[in-house]
Amino acid sequence: DRILKFYAQTFTLSPLHMTKEIYKSLAKYLELYFLSRENHIPTLTTGIDITNPNVIHLLKKVRLLNQYQKEAPSFWIRHPEKYMEEIVESTLSLLSVKHDQSHLVSQKILDPIYFLALVDTKAVWFKKWMHAYYSRTAVLRLIEKKYKSLITTAVQQCVQYFELCKTTKADEVLGHSKPCGNKQKTFYYSGQELQYIYFIHSLCLLGRLLIYTQGRKLFPIKLKNRKDSVSLADLLVLFTQLIYYSPSCPKMTSPGHLENYSPASMVTEILCILCDQKECAIECLYNSTVIEALLQPIHNLMKGTKAAPNCSETALIHVADILARIASVEEGLILLLYGENVSSSEEKSHT
């Protein structure tokens, strides 16, 4: 593939000030490729066959783009802010590409973000971009002004997966997570598996977003086919419910590897990070709505009923870990013992 060789060689050999133009060119090429009706892009119905030559070439280009995304934060601080902003904007523009949504979901043409999720399932690129204040400010400013749809679709993916967990048998839901946990070579990804990979990518992206004040300010989010907007508290309740409702990964196949992509484990990691940062904990976790969601299955068990469908002992251990972290801070302990009203009055008395 001549185009791929050209981009790979120029990325390697060109000086840093030129790599920005090369990256923008590749991002624009991919954006036009996905928008063109002449290219045969897979759908959710057909899935992705990675032995297909066209798919191989497309994934190689996306992987090359992703490699640069992960390396760029190490050197863009040396350049004017415009250098970084142009890289960020070309990326967000590509990832915001949406095909005509008038047809059925099952016939939906795969958008660029599905392919990015395949090569970078845990959204490492976004984690790196959000790490430094210098780049984080530009990313969040552009998302708020022009590309909020990227966050909207990420929230939508999490909502859809949760609905799937509530309505589908545990073993069927686990079938969707096969590509993330299977060490054996996979040559074909079904539509359901692609949706799961995109869900994991979305979960990681949102988890990183919640750590920062400006990221939290993007909420509430308005979703299609939903009357009420999704507030910050709604998202945290959704995350909590994912711990209980998402089935545990089977232990028979490389459990350590599977655990890395278990929604319950990943949500627990996100919530523990929020617990460890006081400002995040106060905004995200220290309210009665989220605490009630954490405690609800425990209340159910105390009443002698089932905690939640698909709920495992591991899920309860995850929640115990989160509650222990909340209780380790005075504000959190007061909230757990006496509720939000007492907690608020305690804060006022201290001031």
Q: 153-174, pLDDT tens digit by residue? A: 999 999 999 999 888 765 555 5
- The mean pLDDT of 69-86, rounded to a whole number, is 90
- The mean pLDDT of 294-307, rounded to a whole number, is 80
Residue 346 confidence (pLDDT) above 80: no
- The mean pLDDT of 310-324, rounded to a whole number, is 87
Locate the DSSP E strands across the chain. 48-49, 188-189
Say what the pLDDT of residue 312 is.
77
| Element spanning 37, H or E | none
pTM, rounded to two decimals: 0.89
Query: Percent of the chain at pLDDT above 90?
Result: 62
- The mean pLDDT of 252-257, rounded to a whole number, is 40
pLDDT tens string 184-210: 557 899 999 999 999 999 999 999 999
Task: Name the DSSP class of 227.
Answer: S
Task: Name the DSSP class of 329.
Answer: S
Say what the pLDDT of residue 305 is.
75
29-38, 106-115, 196-205, 213-222 — which is least confidently predicted? 106-115
Q: Measured between alpha carbons, how far is 7 from 19 in angstroms, rounded to an integer?
A: 10
- Which one, of 176, 58, 175, lies nearest residue 110 by Cα? 58
Say what the pLDDT of residue 132 is.
92
Q: Measured between alpha carbons, how far is 113 from 98 in angstroms, rounded to an integer?
A: 10
Say what the pLDDT of residue 175 is.
55
Tell me the two tokens of residue 198. Answer: 């995109």
165 near 245, Cβ under 8 Å?
Answer: yes
Residue 256 confidence (pLDDT) above 70: no
Q: Measured between alpha carbons, how far is 304 from 271 in angstroms, rounded to an integer?
A: 27
168 near 22, Cβ under 8 Å?
Answer: no
